[in-house]
Amino acid sequence: MDYKTIKEDGIVEEIIKKSRFICHLKRITSEEEGRNYIAAIKKEHYKANHSCSAMIIGERGEIKRSSDDGEPSGTAGVPMLTVLEKQELTNVVAVVTRYFGGIKLGAGGLIRAYAGSVAHATKEIGLVHVKEQAGLELTLTYPQYQVFANFLEQENLTEQNTQFLEQVTTELYVDPEVLDVIQERLIDFYQGKITMTKIDPQIIEVPLELSDKEDLSR
> Which residues are within 8 A (CB) of 85 and not within 5 positions of it... i.e. 6 or more apart?
56, 61, 64
pTM of the predicted model, to two decimals?
Answer: 0.86
Question: What's the fold here for domain 131-207?
Answer: Alpha-Beta Plaits (3.30.70)
Average pLDDT in the 93-114 region? 97
List of residues 6+ apart from 211 with CB closer than 8 A: none
Q: Would you state the pLDDT for residue 210?
A: 57
Question: DSSP character for 141?
Answer: -
**pLDDT single digits (tens) 168-207:** 999 999 999 999 999 999 999 999 999 999 999 999 999 9
pLDDT-above-90 percentage for the chain: 95
Give the C-alpha distances (Å, rounded to integers) separating 70 from 51, 52, 73, 105.
Answer: 9, 8, 8, 15
pLDDT band at 1 (very low <50, low <70, confident <90, very high): confident
Delimit the domains of the chain by residue range: 2-125, 131-207
Residue range 2-125 forms a domain whose CATH class is alpha beta
Helix (H, G, I), strand (E, B) or coil at 174: strand
